[in-house]
Amino acid sequence: MMSCLPMDSRPQPSHPVPRATRPSHSIGRRAPSHHEGIFRLYEQEFGAERDDASRLRWRWQYLENPENGDDGAVIWVARDGERVLGQYASMPVRLFWDRKEARASWGMDVFLRPDARGLGIGAELFNQWSNHLDVALGLGLTPASYALFKKLRYHDMGPVPFYRKVLDPRAVTARYLGSALSASAGPLLASGLKLVYPESRQHSVDVFVGRIDDFGAEYDGLWERAKTSYTMCVRRDRAYLRWKYLACPHRRYDIWEARRKRELAGYAVARHEDYRGLRLGWVVDVFTHAKDHEAKGMLLAAILDNFREAGVARAQAFSMNERLGRDLRRYGFIPGGSPMQFCVRSRTAGDAPFADPGGWHVVFGDSDMDR
């Protein structure tokens, strides 16, 4: 068996492994010789039937990341001799931070063997990872990992705000109340939502939105123009966007771009799926200059039209950016409780970005939240 932290919510042992069974260990960067040992842990945890899918996703997520350096994937491995005890895998990114771009990484998978738990090895892996970065980022934390991040003196940014919008009131009420009650409850819910949370669309004659299937060279320019409107944002150039949304082996995304008189103004990424009897739509990312509410509004309108055509019952989004949050509310999204805890450690000289977390651009498409 294997423990997966921080993305696994299972409880950890409350008592240490007996001293006689404690393994000696060393921690270093992943080498090709560690590959099969790591995947044996995957197979033990998730089963052989998911092993091929795990390898495919793992290769894309870690080996094909365009921000990898010459030494490959940023994965720290704990070993007892040649025996793999566990790993901490991360997603390196370039981060606009403190008015310049910094070396950063999203922390992701920690796997530990049972005889390696409760010994502080997980904390050692965390520290090895964060000590080699300008900014370390932990998103979507379980209670156990959230406590560990705070213990290691990360800044607690709280949960990333969550928004949702009911598009098919009858389907939503049928899911929770049953089909018999939905016939009367659905129309009442629809009327109440239109009254309290109206969808206030603003048509633009200057901004045109269309579907795309690739990110061209103009996206590098969009990033350079828009990045300074945020106090924190992962670099969204064409190399990153192609890898994140076009090469992803386990998700298929719908993508739109907004143009203002032929100049690229922004893009949006979304997808929808069936989940527990309900069709859900995810607003994965919306990126423009932070103050370009016109382009963001047109992109959100295109997403919602697509969701309605696809029979989506409820649309959902995360956004730490206050301006994007206002745009979501303008289109009838309702703020709700968020499970997406967020912690950050910065080793740069200045902590100015922490003074304006509402200027950060963090959405569902960041880190590996949509895996």
Residue 205's pLDDT is what?
Answer: 87
What residues have CB less than 8 Å from 305, skipping those under 6 apart? none
Q: Strands, E, within the chain: which ranges?
A: 3-5, 26-29, 75-80, 83-97, 100-112, 135-139, 155-159, 162-166, 207-211, 232-234, 254-260, 263-275, 278-288, 314-318, 334-336, 341-346, 360-361
Residues of the chain with pLDDT under 70: 1-23, 42, 44-52, 175-191, 193, 195-197, 349-350
Residue 7's pLDDT is what?
Answer: 34
Residue 180's pLDDT is what?
Answer: 58
Q: Supply φ then ψ for residue 14, to 5 degrees.
A: -90, -5
**Homologous superfamily (CATH) for 3-158:** Gcn5-related N-acetyltransferase (GNAT) (3.40.630.30)
Asked if residues 170 and 186 have their Cβ atoms less than 8 Å apart, the reply is: yes
Residue 48's pLDDT is what?
Answer: 54
Pairing of strands 360-361, 232-234: parallel
Helices and strands (H, E) in the chain, number of each type: 10, 17
Residue 14's pLDDT is what?
Answer: 41
Residue 179's pLDDT is what?
Answer: 64
Fold classified for 162-337: Aminopeptidase (3.40.630)
Asked if residues 96 and 230 have their Cβ atoms less than 8 Å apart, the reply is: yes
Residue 69's pLDDT is what?
Answer: 85
Q: What is the pLDDT of residues 154-213, one digit of tens each?
A: 999 999 999 999 998 888 887 666 665 556 666 666 667 676 667 888 788 899 999 999
Residue 170's pLDDT is what?
Answer: 84
Q: What is the pLDDT of residues 304-332, one digit of tens each?
A: 999 999 999 999 999 999 999 999 999 99
Helices (H), 163-236: 169-177, 179-196, 218-226
Asked if residues 224 and 272 have their Cβ atoms less than 8 Å apart, the reply is: no
Residue intervals of the chain classified under CATH 3.40.630.30 are 3-158, 162-337
Identify the three-state secondary structure at position 179.
helix
Asked if residues 203 and 250 have their Cβ atoms less than 8 Å apart, the reply is: no
79-100 CB burial, b ≥16 within 10 A, e <16: beeeebbbbbbbbbbbbbbbee
d(CA 105, CA 136): 6
